[in-house]
Chain A
């Protein structure tokens, strides 16, 4: 029998990633969209992009803890899907929302800190998307990894973009801060996992208590 070409993890990622667009189309067709539909589209595509991006940061900690290497191979898909939703998000903002009125878009972006960080994060994502293919990985060699570590800057910027789009003050913990805070904490935890001594400590702890099958699992490439 021919082997099914997708792993369960791949199927889960495909379903989750496309669910954003599928649900949007479904809600548009059934009239289940807010009376402010453009803002609704902006917010929904934005949230999906952030979630996918945060999930891409989850892959390395999962590998560190459970010695399960497949998630490392799925980072590219998660990152590219995040870029897809971020692109839709940006197109909706510029076209549907601002009707391609470049002077107001330009003015708006430069004035609002939340748009500055959002635009900057989006621009940084583009070269990562372009160079995500194997041919670029080979061509760039060691620099590829350095380039792609930009994601450690991009994700905090994107979370900041989200925090600042809500009516609250994260420093004084007042207003609409709960959801942004959850995203922020998750990202902080995921980034702490990557600090080398902490990563090492977790890896040795988990190989002692969590992964008895470590021996037959060769150490794959990490980042």
Chain B
């Protein structure tokens, strides 16, 4: 069977040893210093080119299925929207260092026949781990290509057996303001919550990611377990999940609660539905200087457009 996206099981010998990996990161840091000077001189992101040569190779190759290079580990782990820590994208990595991901349990409940609470280690053992190279399109009009490791949400949901009343899936991030300083802000309805329609959740593209670049995921990117829904804007891909609940009603999502006219429940990447703040017609791929046109469903239309056949996507944005 050929996949429309890149996907292979990860074998342990393929994973870059940690010491090699870390020394590469040091090299990347040095490269970016040199590159920074070049950036000023030539106004071109030489830092990225230098860093990419040194980056550990993701297991299934260095490009997505469209031929676009994966972003550097450095960029992926130092430019994060994770408001539980801070709204400063470059500040997240530092603040997330002391976030404790062990032990961790994930409760799967609601309209299911077999509600269960899983330890994080059980999940990585029980379900086939594979690497998926996905594009991530942020609603702020920037994007990256990221090599995740994880398993399909569908495989987890099959395990708990949703009942016939289950129509939606609701996700919740951990609430731990003592470790997540951003959660002390009174301006957000914490904890973060997100939702998918059941057919979206069961889609083969929808991933629960536990790893990044062939390594366990890092806290700034939503460790130990996060959702990745590549055809939707990044905010749908909720991080550090502790609860998954099957429901009959469409769940509330945090950003929809804050500004329903800006962040819809579906939030499919769509260059034709404009956001009041950012034009969604184009995006900047991190590591590139020129904007590139945004593709409908973030380039995954062939696989997912059929989910929305009867819907007006201008209304259900």
**Cβ of A62 < 8 Å from any Cβ of B?**
no
Question: Considering the complex, which residues of chain A in the window 27-65 have a beta carbon less than 8 Å from any beta carbon of chain B?
Answer: 27-39
**Contact call A31/B36, Cβ cutoff below 8 A:** yes
Q: How large is the interface on B (under 10, 10 to 19, 20 to 34, 35 or more residues)?
A: 35 or more
**Contact call A175/B258, Cβ cutoff below 8 A:** yes
Which residue of B36, B257, B258, B278 is within 8 Å of A29 (Cβ)?
B36
A176 vs B254: C-alpha distance when bound (angstroms): 13
**Contact call B291/A99, Cβ cutoff below 8 A:** yes
CB contacts between A and B, total, < 8 Å = 93
> Given A96-B289, A167-B277, A169-B258 in contact, is the A37-B282 Cβ separation under 8 Å?
no
Q: How large is the interface on A (under 10, 10 to 19, 20 to 34, 35 or more residues)?
A: 35 or more
A98 vs B187: C-alpha distance when bound (angstroms): 33
**Cβ of A68 < 8 Å from any Cβ of B?**
no
A28 vs B36: C-alpha distance when bound (angstroms): 5
A172 vs B45: C-alpha distance when bound (angstroms): 40
What is the distance, in angstroms, from A216's C-beta to the closest C-beta of chain B? 49
> Given A36-B142, A174-B259 in contact, is the A30-B187 Cβ separation under 8 Å?
no
**Cβ of B32 < 8 Å from any Cβ of A?**
yes
Most buried by B among A30, A113, A167: A167
In terms of DSSP, what is the predominant structure of the interface of chain A?
Answer: mixed
> Given A31-B35, A35-B79 in contact, is the A174-B279 Cβ separation under 8 Å?
no
**Cβ of A25 < 8 Å from any Cβ of B?**
yes
**Cβ of B87 < 8 Å from any Cβ of A?**
yes
Point out the residues of chain B lying under 8 angstroms from A113, CB to CB: 276
What is the distance, in angstroms, from B172's C-beta to the closest C-beta of chain A? 18
What residues make up the interface of A, taking CB atoms closer than 8 Å to B?
A: 25, 27-39, 96-99, 104, 107-108, 111-114, 164-165, 167-169, 172-178
13 contacts between A and B (CB under 8 A): A33-B39, A34-B89, A36-B142, A96-B43, A104-B279, A167-B255, A167-B262, A168-B259, A173-B187, A174-B188, A174-B189, A175-B187, A178-B185
What residues make up the interface of B, taking CB atoms closer than 8 Å to A?
A: 32-37, 39-40, 43, 45, 47, 71, 74-75, 78-79, 83, 87, 89-90, 142, 185, 187-189, 255, 257-259, 262, 274, 276-279, 281-282, 284, 286-287, 289-291
